[in-house]
Structures are given as structure tokens and as C-alpha cells.
Structure 1
Amino acid sequence: MALPMNAQVDPRDVHAQARFNMIEQQVRPWNVLDENVLELLGRVRREDFVPPEYLNMAYMDMEVPLKGTPEEAASHGWHMLAPKIEARTLQDLQLKPTDRVLEIGSGSGYMAALLAAQAKEVVTLEIDPELAEMARENLLGAGIKNVEVKLANGATASLAQGTFDVIVLSGSVAEIPEALYAQLNDGGRIAAIVGKMPVMRFTLVTKKGNHFDVKQPWDTAASRLTGFEEPSRFSF
């Protein structure tokens, strides 16, 4: 269960209060009320997945840069998503202990760690070699063994990974590539942030036989995933 409002944090954990505040001040107010998700956010130490130079941003309501300057990170999509977006994505996916999950955009490995805590297996793809190695090291340091980090462009190489019950895009795209639909098992779900600035929509696609049910329950915005095509500005 998540910590109650009057809970005492462990004074030996210097980040415990920040973690508690993140859950109560950022995540709960964003309609994340699933106690399993809230407990997981309190248990997985986000600070262990943040570069030392950005440690003070670990629990802020923002995208955390993973390498380079903040400006470079913004232009290349080298970010962790804001905590409330990760939390609400987890809530909407309703992961099962039997799920095989594909994540595109490993980043620091934090979202993969959250997914792995609720699923059977996670394959996470990262196009940037430095971030792929960061994710491997962070997951290893956290003792998480049911995640495989692969250096690959998720927009073009994911078909080689087999089929999945859940596909998560940890960043925004202009549209979900058709190839990803073919990788879903029946009953499988794709979670993606779709659209363009300033407003994008969280999109949840569920496969039901030969039909795909599409819902867009909330608006948000996030950095672009590298490697995915943008629509042409011109039409004829």
C-alpha cells in the first residue's frame, strides 16, 4: 500500500521525503489512485536511475535530462519522462504478471524497472549506445533480472523481437507505426504519447481479434523518440 498522508519516512533514506512528496503532490493529483502503482513508485528508487549531475531533479515534476546539457537533451530526446506520466501510463496499462512487454526508449532504465516489477519479462530498446549502457548498469545495480536491454532503433528493428502483450513508447511520436500493431498478441496493448506540441494525447490501443480499440483518455506532452518518422508538412 502507498504511504498514508501522516506516514513517517525513514530518516536513513535521504530521498524518502522527496519520493513521498512526488507521490502525494504530483502523482495522486493526476488521478493516479491505483495503490499497486503508488506502492511501486515508493519502492523503486528513482534517484538510482538519474545521472549524478541531475540528481536534484530526480523527483521534480519535469523531464530529467540524461546526458549533455539540458538544451542538448531536449533536442535529442535524452530524457526520463515526468513521474506523473510514467505513473498514469502504468495505471492505464493494467499490467498482468504474465505479460511480456516491449519498451521503446530505455533511457536510464527507470520505466523498464517499473514495468518489470509488474510483468513477467521486459525487452527494452535504446537507440543511443551510451543510454543503453546506462540502462543496463542501473538495472543491474537495482537487482532487476527480468529486463533485457537491446541497442536498437525501435522504429525499424522491433519486429525481430517477437510478439508482446504490452508495447510502451517512452516518449512521443507523430503516429504509432503500423509495424507495432502486428507485434501485439490478442488482448495486447500499445501505450504511446501521440501528436505534436503543444498538446499531445496519451493513446491506448487494445487488440481484440482483428480489431484495434483506440482510446485517448488524457492530454500531455513529451519529448520525441529518436528514429520515428514525422509526417510531411505538405499534402497534395
Structure 2
Amino acid sequence: MPAMSFIQRIAYLAALLCIGLLGLSVRADEYAAKRRALIDEIRRETRWVSSEIGKAELDGRVLNAMDKVPRHEFVSEDLHDVAYANRPLPIGYGQTISQPFIVALMTDLLRVEPDDRVLEIGTGSGYQAAVLAELAERVYSIEIVPELTQMATERLNRLGYAKVETKTGDGYYGWPEHAPFDAIIVTAAPTQIPPPLVQQLKPGGRMIIPVGSQFLPQFLVLVEKSPQGKVATRQMVPVQFVPLTGTH
């Protein structure tokens, strides 16, 4: 085969670039279609538990946020094809990225407003924080595994989620420097509701947290603090989360 001229080489490289861009575009369309299908599945599952949660449809803002966040970016490349399955997936270090329906449900129960400051306990892959960042003014997220903190921070920065601030620490004790919070979400299960988190919840605020041991039933618990500071709890749906670890 004769050597290509400079112009031929440029044309060849341009053709390769176009093919690559076309492939990325097709892939993006495929992921968008999978997200839409996932939203439909979340809607169906919401109706199944409507009696437990007191509503048959989640807030449209929450569903829009779920539709925007590219879940495949929050799992390893070998899991991209199943990233939009409605189930948890491993992210390493004994942790998982939560089932999308549970992410949507917990987010909905917080009733996040655009000017809210939200505390998340358990950054994991950063996916839940990204969903919250679509809704809130600021998200503070704590992860106990340093490697996961680093990976989630780099990922969130790369994807443009500048509203999220992360740190490594024991989430049981919250983040008092930034308290009080309008909403708190906990993505690992303690055996009881941590008192420091209740203290850091703003009057009128809400917290959603799975409570129970790893080998016994766990339930999502909604914690509401009245404007006068009175705390009320309500058990929602059964769940299964990894345990909340730390020195507490």
C-alpha cells in the first residue's frame, strides 16, 4: 500500500474522529432511552407502595433530576450496560450504589427546595449527591472510606456538580461546621437514629434514614422536626442497606 500524503492522513484522521463522535452520540441516545425507561419503572414501583408512602406519584422535580443524572458515570465501565437497571450495583470496598427507585423515593421524601442545604451521610459513588445537587442550593456529603471520597469527588467535579462538597469522616456525627441543615439523608443503616444528626436538623427540616441491623429488618424512617423543635418519626417501607460504620 503506497504511503499516504499529508492531506490524506488528515482526511483519514478526521474520518476516524467523526466515526468516534458518531459512536458517542449513539451511546448517549441509548443511555437517555434507558433513563426514560427507568423513570417509567420508578413510577410503577411508586404506585405499588403508594399506601405506605401516602402518594401514588413522586414529585416531578425529583423524576426530572433522576432523568438528568447519568448513572452510568457513577459505576465502573464493565457495569455501564446495566447502569439503568432498577437495582443496586457494587462500587467497591463493600459498598453499593443504591437502587434508583430508593434514591428517588428518599429524595422525594426530603421535599428539597432550591434554596435548601442538604447533608448526605454516605457519599459512595456520588450518585445520590448528584441527584440532590439538581434540586438543592448546596449538598454536603460525608464518606467514611477515603478511597470512595476521592473517587466520588473527582467524578462529581468532572461532571460539573460544583454544588457538592465532600469530606472523609464518620457520618454518625454529621458536619456541625455547616449545620443546621434543611434536610439530611443517610444512605447506610444505623441501629438507631444518631442524636447528632437530629441536633443538626433545622427546625422545620426533614431527615430520611434506614434504621435496623444488617441481618434483621430495616425500614426507611422519616424524621420531621417541627418549627418549635419537636421531633416526630414515621416508619415507611422495608429496605436493605449496608450498615453505618464508624467509631460510635
Place the TM-score, normalised by the shorter chain, in its bin: 0.7 to 0.9
* 1:192 aligns with one of 200, 204, 209: 209
Unaligned runs of 5+ in 2: 1-24, 47-56
Structure 1: tracts of 5 or more residues without a match: 1-9, 230-236
**CA apart distance, 1:156:** 3.5
Question: Is the contact made by 2:189 and 2:241 (CA closer than 8 Å) also made in structure 1?
Answer: yes
Counterparts of 1:56 and 1:224 in 2: how far apart (Å)? 28
Match of 1:204 among 199, 205, 222: 222
- 2:188 is matched with which residue? 171
The CA deviation at 1:163 is: 1.6
Equivalent residue for 2:7?
A: none
CA contact (8 A) 2:141 2:167 kept: yes
Matching of residue 16 in structure 1 with residue 41 in structure 2: no
| SS in structure 2 of the partner of residue 219 of structure 1 | strand
CA–CA distance in structure 1, aligned partners of residues 138 and 177 of structure 2: 16
Q: Which residue of 2 aligns with 1:224?
A: 243
Instruction: Look up the equivalent residue of 1:21 and give its one-letter code.
Output: A
Q: Which structure: greater helix fraction?
A: 2
Give 1:234's aligned residue: none
1:88 equivalenced with 2:105 (yes/no) = yes
Counterpart CA distance in 2 for 1:30 and 1:227 is 33
- What do residues 118-168 of structure 1 show as CA deviations (whole Å, max 9, x unaligned)? 111111001111100111111112111111011111124633443211111
Q: Structure 1 residues 183 and 134 mapped into 2: Cα distance closer, same or farther (>3 Å)?
A: same
Q: C-alpha distance in 2, partners of 1:13/1:84?
A: 22
Which entry has the higher C-alpha Rg, 1 or 2?
2
Change (3 A) 1:228 1:92: farther
Equivalents in 1 of 2:243, 2:85: separation in Å?
20
Pair 99,157 (structure 1): closer, same or farther in 2 beyond 3 Å: closer
Q: Does 1:38 align with 2:63?
A: yes
> Scaled by the length of structure 1, what TM-score is found?
0.83
Q: Is the 8 Å Cα contact of residues 192 and 202 (structure 1) preserved in structure 2?
A: yes
Quick one: which of 4, 10, 29 aligns to 2:44? 29
- The aligned amino acid for 2:211 is V
* Greater mean deviation of Cα atoms: 137-146 or 47-56: 47-56
Identity %: 34
Counterpart amino acid of 2:33?
Q
The Cα of 1:220 is off from its aligned counterpart by 1.9
> Match for 1:224: what amino acid?
P
* RMSD of equivalent CA atoms: 1.8
Deviations 1:85-105 (A, max 9, x none): 000111111101111111010
Matched residue SS, 1:122: strand
1:57 to 75, 82, 85: 82
Q: How many Å separate the matches in 2 of 1:218 and 1:157?
A: 24
